[in-house]
Amino acid sequence: MIPLPERLLDRALRRAAERCARPGQLAFTGRQLYYETDRTLFPLHHGPHRLRYTTRPLLDAGRFAAALARHPELDVLPDELPPSPHRPGPEGDLYDYAFPRLLVCQDPAIAGMLRANRLHLEGACPILTPERLPLDGRLLAAMERAEGAVVHVLHDASPAGLALFLRVREHAGPRLRVRTAGLLPRHAAALHLAALGGQPRCRAEELPAELPAAERAWLAGGRVAELAAVRPARLLRTVLRTVRGGGFAPPARPAAPTRARDTGFLTWPTP
């Protein structure tokens, strides 16, 4: 990692926090602030839009944590959330209503950030995390009562993220549409995101065949682009547009293999 004077790092941290909060004092996580601070110090994402590439984070995570500890005045959401308390039995008459949409978010911290910014209210969309799988049968029944109900899956560009989408589709059953609203390598490259390297590798053959060979090779090589690498405002805007009905959501179980662009992958805006 590149050595940095503390004064420079602290100034970049404060500037990054201001950017994360725009517009309107948005709530954001420590991980999102880490990526924004890295972009502030090392603006490798400023390449021409016509070029498609990912970068890698150059800011040492330990240095960032130490800098953040020096600034307790920064209101940052936690990256580690305590498990949700178990609530036995139905919650009143909640399941008597029809739910037209549901969001399952791979990263619990990002799910908390979406809730903190009231996306679940603005989008009329409950937000769950993988720990709530398999989906409650009463919730599935409530969604089936809503015409055209869709389960959206928000995930990292990673083998684990794609596996989560397949897992949700399996649990949702044949009567509900499941749409992946997650990142893919092509989105990470279009947005010039910083991608982590050295993650667990897998075989390209284990990844969905609908993905282009280059994207399967990218994922199989141990690279991961996290949702937290997307700027908070862009993430909120894109997810809200998606859950409100933008784009195409395919049947939960296509009768035949489809191309990746037809499986509901979210079209992220360019940088």
| pLDDT (0 to 100) of residue 244 | 87
30 to 56, 145, 199, 245: CA distances (angstroms): 18, 39, 21, 30
pLDDT band at 85 (very low <50, low <70, confident <90, very high): low
Name the H helices within the chain.
6-21, 30-41, 61-69, 108-116, 119-122, 137-144, 159-172, 185-190, 213-220, 232-243
Nearest to 231, CA basis, from 13, 10, 28, 14: 28
CATH pick for 101-244 out of 3.30.360.10, 2.60.40.420, 3.10.20.30, 3.40.1360.10? 3.40.1360.10
Q: Which residue has the tokens 């110090």?
A: 41
Taking residue 98's Cβ as centre, other Cβ atoms within 10 Å add up to: 13
pLDDT of residue 109: 97
Q: How confident is the model at residue 80 (pLDDT cuts 50, 70, 90)?
A: confident
Q: Where in the chain is the domain with CATH 3.40.1360.10?
A: 101-244
Q: Could you read off the pLDDT of 246-267 as tens digits, one per residue?
A: 433 333 333 333 333 333 445 4
Read off the pLDDT of residues 180-205 as tens digits, 9 standing for 90 and up: 999 999 999 999 999 999 888 898 98
Residue 253's CB is within 10 A of a number of other CB atoms, namely 14
**DSSP, res 182:** -
Residue 111's pLDDT is: 97
